[in-house]
Each structure stands twice: as structure tokens, then as C-alpha cells.
Homo-oligomer: A and B are copies of this chain.
Amino acid sequence: MPAEHSLFIPIILGTTRQGRESEHVAHLVFEQAKKRAGVDVELVDVRELPMRLDDAGEQMKDPKFSATIERCDGLVIVTPEYNHGYPGLLKHALDMNLKEYIHKAVGICGVSAGAVGGARVIENLLPVLRELGLVTIFEDVNFGKVGTLFDERGRLLDENYVRRVDKFLDELIWMARVLRHGRENIAPV
């Protein structure tokens, strides 16, 4: 019974920067998602992907990453905002796959040092995610002033974010479930 299968929702940590604060955010989302019954999670660290500096696109495809995307029902992208846009290596990674994304759900957690909480990088990513065939949910989490949200060991200092992440995951899981039903049961027109 397909509706009973676990959903697979990888969390992509979208920056390779030394000293990245988004790592705490990715771990928080990972831990919250792991608590959900019927949801399998995995952390995909863009820093660990075997990418190259002299190529781009599908011809640089990594079999393991492609299999993860192929198998997933939804994605979380945790991304800082660099100069109002997405990190280059996040895009470099996303561009390695193509058909693997189609008709799956994605939610974005934006991270920034200032008050906007990555609101701009989320907008900047929308056209890309749509073209990949992903459905971006309309719940985001904005981690603003990220430097004040976690202690040195990465423990969350503001419990409001647990609630926000949970609400975000609710919507993402719902959409992932709906689209999976569609992929498995509703014939193309």
C-alpha cells in the first residue's frame, strides 16, 4: 500500500563555507524531521559531494547523489543568503541532476546574519527549483540573526524555531505525500 510507505526527505546543507552557521540549522531540521513517523531523513552536505571546478551540469552527475534525489519524495534546502543570492556550490550541486526532481516537494530554510532570515535567497531560488520540476511549498523558515540563535555547541537558544520548523515540516510532508500519490496513481494526461 503506497500510502503507507515511509516518505524519504533528505535535508541539503547548501553551503561549503568554512565557519558556516547553516550547519546548526540543518541539524535542527534533521532532528525534527527524524521524529516524524513514516519519514526517513538523511543529511546531504554539499561540501561532501564529489563536484569539480572545471565542469557543470548533468555531465558531472554523481551516482550516489542522483540516487538520493531519485529516491526522495521531498527535499529540505537549508541555505544561507550570499549577496542576496544562493551559494554557488549549492547551485552547482543542484544542476547535477534533472529528471530526478520532477514532481517532488521542496521547502526552503533561509539563513542570514541579519533580520531578513534569508528571505531574499528564497525568492532567488524559486525559478530554479520550478524549472527542475520541484514544487516549492509556501511555508519557509527564516533563520534571521542566526549568530544569536544557537550556542557554541549548536544548541538552539530560541525555542520558537522548533514550532516554526514543525509547521514547515507539516506542510512539506503533506505536499510530499500528495505528489507521491500523484506520481504513483494518477496517470499523465
Residues of chain A at the chain B interface (Cβ within 8 Å): 15-19, 47, 51, 53-57, 59, 82-95, 115-117, 119-120, 123-128, 130-133, 135-136, 138, 142, 144, 169-171, 173-175, 177-179, 181-182, 186, 188-189
Contacts and interface: CB of A to CB of B under 8 A. Distances in A.
Contact of A131 (B15, B51, B90, B138): B138
21 contacts: A17-B56, A17-B59, A19-B59, A53-B53, A84-B127, A84-B130, A85-B86, A85-B124, A87-B95, A92-B92, A115-B115, A116-B116, A132-B138, A170-B188, A170-B189, A173-B189, A174-B182, A174-B186, A177-B186, A177-B189, A181-B182
Contacts of A138: 130-133
Contacts of A83: 94-95, 128, 131-132
